Structure 1
Amino acid sequence: MPRISVPTTARLPSSLRVNPTNPAATKILGRLSRSSLLSVALDWLDDNSLSLAQPYLREDEDDDDEDDDETDDFYPPARSPEALRDVYTLLQARKGSKREILDRITEGDWRHGLSLYQLAMADLQYLYDHPTSQQWSAYRIMPLKPPRDPDGEEPPQVDKQSLTIPRFHPSTFLRTLQAQVLPDVKAHYTFDAHKTLPLLLLRIFIVDSPYNTNLGLQQKTGTPTTTTNFDASRTVYIAFPDASPHLFISKPQTTTLTSSSSSGSSGESKSLRNLLVEGIPKALSRPLQRQRFTLQSTSLVTRNLAALVERRGGGRTNAAGGGWSVYTAAAAAADGDDDDGSKKRETPLDLVLPASASASPPLFLGGGEESGGGNGKRAAVAGLVLAGERREERAVKRARLVARARFGVTAVAGDGKGVERVDVVVEDAFPDAGGEENAGGDEEGGRGGRVGRGGGRKSQVDAVLQRAAGDEDEHEDDTQQQQQDGVAQKWRPYVRLTFHGPHVFAGIRQLVEAGIVDGERMPGWMTGEEGVTIGAVRHGRIRGHKGSGL
């Protein structure tokens, strides 16, 4: 630690060490399982990471001093990193408790402190072990038009016809982000390529301190209690998918075990996310080349990172959700993506519903050939029962065909691409015959009837729709459509639908296959083809920042 610590705008170095007994370090390591702890320890001892994760090793001393250390120390230090690597390899081969590994790390091999780089690796390992531990929001990178009057106050406009994509350079991006977004707080950045998904993860660990030395991580003694700068720390992840104009931002999470207040923590998290949403496009922009960008929400929020890559990644499935996914499957089959040549992929022609499925007459096994009256009646009853069973079988088969046609190859239980929550507001006019009874509904209950509605779990759908109302083009289109339809003065009740579950669209598909939901009359947004989790249904179509934003 230097003798003088001066406040600076530089970011925290990766070699900065934290006391192993710090609550933040204890929480990060304590969340991992025994196998993950051993894997992370071996990664620390790798030659590429050893410079930032140097363990506590035995110094060259006399034999007598070495014997005294071995008898007094419960975890005697190793002679070299290679010897310590062999120790953790043997621990990985046998069974034991997690507490044994955790105590050896904090009280033995890294008793002198854990670097921020080591804590970042442990935190990323927890993200890999628990893919649904973070709540992600998808944003689209949109280019801005060059200002006509540089000295004027005209707000920049989005260039929807431009195909410009920003060039991403990690070191330049971090330097600009630290200078423009977080100059008054200290942050530690760590890049890591995702192990299974085509993503580049950026972990941002933010500490509320003006110092980038050990002074910013030490505990400070106050009058009532002993506090630390980690009490106000936050961890945020930013995921950059390969070959995609989108990025994903996680919800900021606290590092300490307890927070001061839930409301204050929520407000700080929202403020931090807003700062990142405003600062990331500035870090990606290149003013000298007259290239400026902004972030627009795509109304897709989920804990499943694989679902985000499926709907906002660089593949073919961005604009081919629901039943349209069969076209991407056919294209992949044409490109030779199948590992097994004998495996047949579905094509759009395979999902055409047979016209005879519903037009075929019910099978009736009459008893015209029976001579006896009693036997003929029993045969007729048996024929009716058998005909009913055949009709049920045909109905079940048709429901499955309808589900295949509406959902395609998506919304399959167990595919690992499900979303857990979908919020939809229906803003269509209430259908009525005369149109005069509900003409004054807007004056009493408002446009959406939001006044006086009951309480319940808070949702982001209202805030998202308010932001979407600021889009002038969309608002003008809605007004013109309402005037053309003649429903501008009709009553519009506030109807909000919320779907919960581990895989919402897979559950809707199962309801269609069971015949509970009519798959033929079901709207398209219920199949997930729009790729949004928050939106408003207007004129029968979902509009969440113009649907998928494509």
Structure 2
Amino acid sequence: MARLSLPTTARLSSTLRVDPTNTTVIKTVNRLSRPSLLSLVLDWLDERNQSLCPPLLRRPDTDEDEDADDFYPPARSLSELRGVYEALQLRKGGRREVVDRVLEGDWRYGLSLYQLAMADLQYLYDHPGSLKWTAYRIQRLQTPGHEDDAEGPEIADKESVAVPRFHPSTFLQNLQAEVLPDVKAHYNFDRPKGMPLLLLRIFIIDSPYNTDLAVSTRHRGRPSLASSGNATTSFDTSRTIYIAFPDASPHIYISKSASAATSTASAAGEAKSLRALIVEGIPKALSRPRERYTLKGTSLSTKNLGAMLAVKGAGRTNAAGGGWSVYAGTETADLKADNPLQTLLPTPPLSDASSANNDEVEEGGDASSSSSRKRKRKPADPDAADDEKQVKRARAAAQARFGDAARVDDGKGVERLDVALEDPFPTAVPAPDNDDDYDVRRGTDAGEPPRRKSKGRKSILDLSLSQDDLEDISRERRRDRPDKEGEETWAPRVRLSFHGSHVFAGLRQLVEAGIVDGERMPGWMTGEEGVTAGAVRHGRIRGFRGSGI
């Protein structure tokens, strides 16, 4: 520990060691599986990580008798210690023996902040659904033309497509300057395998120092403080925040720890305030003189990073959800064929009727024979034929509305969709006195034929209540919410919440099964709006206008 510590605004160093008896260290190591922990320890023993993860090794001038009573005697060299863990990796055993050897043997003097960061990231890679991510759009602010305008509210430049330049070292320096002076943070960058994004882990500690005093839990001369339990409050796991920077995308993803919801109210509120502090500091760290940025919510939250990259990433699926996904192919053939900007239209395939006729000719034998020219006999059971047509129609509707998206095995599942319906309740039309009034109210002449009613079964509400009952209900409740024209309307409080491992894939299966009408369902049920929470008004969902374009 440093003999003299002064408050500073610098960030925490990755070489600071945390006592192995700390509860956070024990929890971080114990939640890893045995194979993951052994693989992580071998990464610590790599030559390139020795400056940040040095184990305890026996000194050359030490006698062997001095370590005779040690349950985990130190190894003589790094290669010898690496062989010990490789032997543990080859044989079966429990996780407890690996944890005890790490915390009580080879790293008995503590784990560095870099080692804790690697352990947290390893757990995140093993359990991708442990964090909930929220997408934000980086949007440029308008440059004020006059000094008086600079004191006014910030106005986003919606027409600008500028994206800030990101340099990790400069970003961390600017971000640390935005954090409170009595708060220190440890930053660690990592790039997940198979994902085009850069992951930043931020570990926040309440301390004005950036030395060993900030992470030490031993308070010499103050035993009451050491035994009070306040020594480990600065290592709460809810203070860990992850920020993902996708490649070539104007969006960033910020995590929300799941442990914050299960903690106490004071800890959850403190973690929420720290997260808000980081969110406010990110656009300031990305900004430059006369080039300011802000973060705008996109109403998209999910635990699946793959789904986040598909909707708010840099690929062609960014604004091509639902049925529009047929134009978002990534292969070379898809770029040539599935492109709506092509000047030459592709040759249309054979129609279903032509295909059916060809099949009949092949089954009948020679096309010139009299039997092949005869019409195919109808099936004996007409209900079975109708059911088969309905199944084909439902599958065609699902293919048209969802396209190539919303597959069960696509790995882009969204687990929750919350929608609030704010449309006014439809008012009941009074019964006409005569046929002429009915034609006038319908907007048609008396000589014109009446319009054909839309297909579909009647609503349950219409079947259970009479016309007079609907008029009374509408008249009593329309006063609750006036509309823009001054008329009194009423909108019921309806909230829809869909849960599951893949919400849109489940909706697609309902359409294919004929339970949901795929021809009349709204677009936000297909995922083409790119939001997981929003309010529907006049049939359109409001959640940053869906794709944000």
TM-score (norm: length of structure 1) = 0.80
Change (3 A) 1:67 1:292: same
Residue 109 (structure 2) aligned to one of 101, 107, 112: 112
CA contact (8 A) 1:252 1:273 kept: no
AA aligned to 1:275 is L
Q: How much has 1:330 moved relative to structure 2?
A: 7.6
Return the alpha-carbon distance in structure 1 between the equivalents of residues 540 and 389 of structure 2: 31
Return the alpha-carbon distance in structure 2 between the equivalents of residues 123 and 72 of structure 1: 33
Return the alpha-carbon distance in structure 2 between the equivalents of residues 318 and 350 of structure 1: 27
CA contact (8 A) 1:189 1:203 kept: yes
Q: How much has 1:9 moved relative to structure 2?
A: 1.4
Change (3 A) 1:88 1:348: farther
For the residue of structure 2 that corresponds to 1:518, the secondary structure is: coil
Gap regions ≥5 residues in structure 1: 339-346, 358-381, 448-481
RMSD of aligned Cα (Å)? 2.9
Q: Does 1:267 align with 2:274?
A: no
Q: How much has 1:7 moved relative to structure 2?
A: 1.6
What is the aligned partner in structure 1 of residue 170 from structure 2? 172
Q: For 1:295-374, what aligned pairs fall within 5 Å after superposition?
A: 295-329=295-329, 332-335=332-335
Q: How much has 1:148 moved relative to structure 2?
A: 2.5
CA contact (8 A) 1:246 1:312 kept: yes
Residue 404 (structure 2) aligned to one of 406, 409, 431: 409
Return the alpha-carbon distance in structure 1 between the equivalents of residues 536 and 349 of structure 2: 27
Return the alpha-carbon distance in structure 2 between the equivalents of residues 181 and 144 of structure 1: 22
Higher mean alpha-carbon deviation, 527-536 vs 4-13, is at: 4-13
Q: How much has 1:143 moved relative to structure 2?
A: 0.3
Residue 96 (structure 1) aligned to one of 87, 93, 96: 93
What is the aligned partner in structure 2 of residue 19 from structure 1? 19
Q: Does 1:197 align with 2:164?
A: no
What is the aligned partner in structure 1 of residue 118 from structure 2? 121
CA contact (8 A) 1:322 1:408 kept: yes
Q: Does 1:243 align with 2:242?
A: no
AA aligned to 2:319 is A
Residue 390 (structure 2) aligned to one of 390, 395, 404: 395
Return the alpha-carbon distance in structure 2 between the equivalents of residues 286 and 24 of structure 1: 37
Return the alpha-carbon distance in structure 2 between the equivalents of residues 328 and 8 of structure 1: 50
What is the aligned partner in structure 2 of residue 531 from structure 1? 530
Return the alpha-carbon distance in structure 1 between the equivalents of residues 390 and 179 of structure 2: 59
Return the alpha-carbon distance in structure 1 between the equivalents of residues 336 and 114 of structure 2: 42
Q: Does 1:284 align with 2:286?
A: yes
Q: How much has 1:83 moved relative to structure 2?
A: 1.7
CA contact (8 A) 1:353 1:402 kept: no
Return the alpha-carbon distance in structure 1 between the equivalents of residues 168 and 85 of structure 2: 33
CA contact (8 A) 2:244 2:252 kept: yes
Return the alpha-carbon distance in structure 2 between the equivalents of residues 352 and 215 of structure 1: 76
CA contact (8 A) 1:301 1:533 kept: yes
Return the alpha-carbon distance in structure 1 between the equivalents of residues 145 and 487 of structure 2: 36
Deviations 1:147-176 (A, max 9, x none): 123345211211111111100011111111
CA contact (8 A) 1:439 1:489 kept: no
Return the alpha-carbon distance in structure 2 between the equivalents of residues 135 and 144 of structure 1: 28
AA aligned to 2:26 is T
Return the alpha-carbon distance in structure 2 between the equivalents of residues 310 and 352 of structure 1: 33
Q: Does 1:149 align with 2:152?
A: no
Gap regions ≥5 residues in structure 2: 339-344, 356-376, 431-470
Q: For 1:333-482, what aligned pairs fall within 5 Å after superposition?
A: 333-335=333-335, 386-434=381-429, 438=474, 441=477, 443-444=479-480, 446=481
Change (3 A) 1:353 1:201: farther
AA aligned to 2:327 is Y
Change (3 A) 1:121 1:348: farther
Return the alpha-carbon distance in structure 1 between the equivalents of residues 347 and 413 of structure 2: 26
Q: How much has 1:127 moved relative to structure 2?
A: 0.4
Change (3 A) 1:488 1:497: farther
Q: How much has 1:329 moved relative to structure 2?
A: 2.2
AA aligned to 2:116 is L
Deviations 1:450-486 (A, max 9, x none): xxxxxxxxxxxxxxxxxxxxxxxxxxxxxxxx75xx6
Change (3 A) 1:332 1:250: farther
CA contact (8 A) 2:329 2:335 kept: no
Kindly tell me the number of residue pairs found equivalent between the two proteins: 473
CA contact (8 A) 2:134 2:302 kept: yes
Q: How much has 1:90 moved relative to structure 2?
A: 1.9
CA contact (8 A) 2:52 2:112 kept: yes
Q: How much has 1:416 moved relative to structure 2?
A: 1.4
Return the alpha-carbon distance in structure 2 between the equivalents of residues 215 and 207 of structure 1: 11
CA contact (8 A) 1:322 1:527 kept: yes
TM-score (norm: length of structure 2) = 0.80
For the residue of structure 2 that corresponds to 1:240, the secondary structure is: strand
What is the aligned partner in structure 2 of residue 185 from structure 1? 183
CA contact (8 A) 2:529 2:545 kept: no
Change (3 A) 1:228 1:350: farther
Q: How much has 1:74 moved relative to structure 2?
A: 1.5
For the residue of structure 2 that corresponds to 1:59, the secondary structure is: coil
Return the alpha-carbon distance in structure 1 between the equivalents of residues 95 and 154 of structure 2: 55
Deviations 1:71-108 (A, max 9, x none): 31111111121221222222212211111111111111
Q: How much has 1:61 moved relative to structure 2?
A: 2.2
Higher mean alpha-carbon deviation, 137-146 vs 392-401, is at: 392-401
What is the aligned partner in structure 2 of residue 82 from structure 1? 79
What is the aligned partner in structure 1 of residue 442 from structure 2? none
Deviations 1:514-537 (A, max 9, x none): 111111111111000001001111
Change (3 A) 1:254 1:396: closer
Q: How much has 1:295 moved relative to structure 2?
A: 0.1
CA contact (8 A) 1:241 1:313 kept: yes
AA aligned to 1:214 is D
Q: How much has 1:511 moved relative to structure 2?
A: 0.6
Q: How much has 1:354 moved relative to structure 2?
A: 5.8
Return the alpha-carbon distance in structure 1 between the equivalents of residues 350 and 22 of structure 2: 62
Return the alpha-carbon distance in structure 1 between the equivalents of residues 235 and 255 of structure 2: 17
